[in-house]
Amino acid sequence: MDVVAELLIGSKRALSRAITMVENESSEAAAMMQQLYPRTGKGLVIGITGPPGAGKSTLTDKLAKKYRQQGKTVGIVAVDPTSPFSGGAILGDRIRMNELILDEGVFIRSMGTRGSLGGLSCKTADVVAILDAFGKDVIFIETVGVGQSEVDIVKAADTTVVVLVPGLGDDIQAIKAGILEIGDVFVINKADREGAERLNSELEMMLVLNQGDIKWRPPIKKTVASSGNGIDELVVAIDDHIDYLNKSGELHRRRSMRANNELLSLMEESIKRYVVKKMSESGQFDSLVSSIERREKDPYTIASIILAECLR
């Protein structure tokens, strides 16, 4: 029995193998995804993002347990930063979710960014699609904790939860425009700390200034994830947003945009590989790079030459 057939009958081992095939860019991965894609689109995708130390992993753990209590199956994709030097990643998020590992209704996968910016791995969308095809009702994506640049999550999630925490110094740094605009629900975690009320007030003020003609006003919820305080209210806020997405037609628009982004991303990656492969085979690439290094030609001219050569 092949990996797709095993996955579709509920084999967790096949699920792990399928994700590994995608991450390792196996020659069989594209054919596998072609078979799985028609079975996607049912799972709810929730993004959890925010600065380092905000408690994203602990919050994800508590949210997953709440959805399990509702009888829903859960998938978790936890993205960790990859070292630019060794290429390795610690992948330590699952340490904070050790109780979930024993739950048969939960599947956790840690991934390294592998150089991708924006808080996600370039393979995150494929992994989410595999979990969706496997039948997970709720899929969490926990991004890298980089603070202000992890905006890729809005392209991958139905609902984006932005987690902030008091006491990071300049609180306004945590709510720069990029992060502010992607949040559907805001969470002030570790709300028992000094400065939580001030952070709440600043966030409220910035949301009012940023409101415009937006129909959904992102709620702000306070939690202490370590003790579970406020988690029930957060689940209600997430469910309210999903209800809004369905009734307003926004869910269809977001998923249409996601399909658009996935297609463009795949095209860019395929074209890049084709160009690099063709130029490497021709032996011209190194000489062109050398001409740039010697300032004989500029990178813009060289890029035009390469494209003309490859597209001829």
Q: DSSP string covering 54-76, please?
A: S-HHHHHHHHHHHHHHTT--EEE
pLDDT (0 to 100) of residue 83: 43
What is the set of domains in the chain, with CATH numbers?
Answer: 1-39 (no CATH), 40-248 (3.40.50.300), 261-311 (no CATH)
Write the pLDDT tens digit of every residue in 61-86. 999 999 999 999 999 998 876 543 44
pLDDT (0 to 100) of residue 65: 95
Whole-number Å distance between alpha carbons of 16 and 271: 28
Statement: residue 118 has pLDDT above 50: no
pLDDT (0 to 100) of residue 175: 56
Statement: residue 180 has pLDDT above 90: no
Which ranges in 137-249 belong to alpha helices (H)?
153-156, 177-182, 196-209, 231-248
Backbone angles phi, psi at 111, to 5 degrees: -135, 145
pLDDT (0 to 100) of residue 184: 94
Residues in contact with 291: Cβ distance below 8 Å, sequence separation at least 6, in sequence order: 297, 302
3-class DSSP assignment, residue 112: strand
pLDDT (0 to 100) of residue 113: 61
pLDDT (0 to 100) of residue 87: 43
Write the pLDDT tens digit of every residue in 43-64. 999 999 888 888 999 999 999 9
Statement: residue 148 has pLDDT above 50: no
Confidence of residue 288 (pLDDT cuts 50, 70, 90): confident
Q: What percent of the residues of the chain are helix, what percent strand, and what percent coil, each to the nearest 5?
A: 55, 15, 35
Percent of the chain residues topping a pLDDT of 90: 48
Confidence of residue 177 (pLDDT cuts 50, 70, 90): low
- The burial class, CB within 10 Å (0-12 / 13-18 / 19+), for 195 is middle
**For the ranges 29-33, 49-53, 104-108, which has the lowest average pLDDT?**
49-53
The total of other beta-carbon atoms located within 10 Å of residue 191's CB is 21
Statement: residue 271 has pLDDT above 70: yes
| Mean pLDDT of the chain, nearest integer | 84
Between residues 81 and 257, the one the model is more confident about: 257
pTM for this model (two decimals): 0.86
pLDDT (0 to 100) of residue 150: 53
Statement: residue 107 has pLDDT above 70: yes
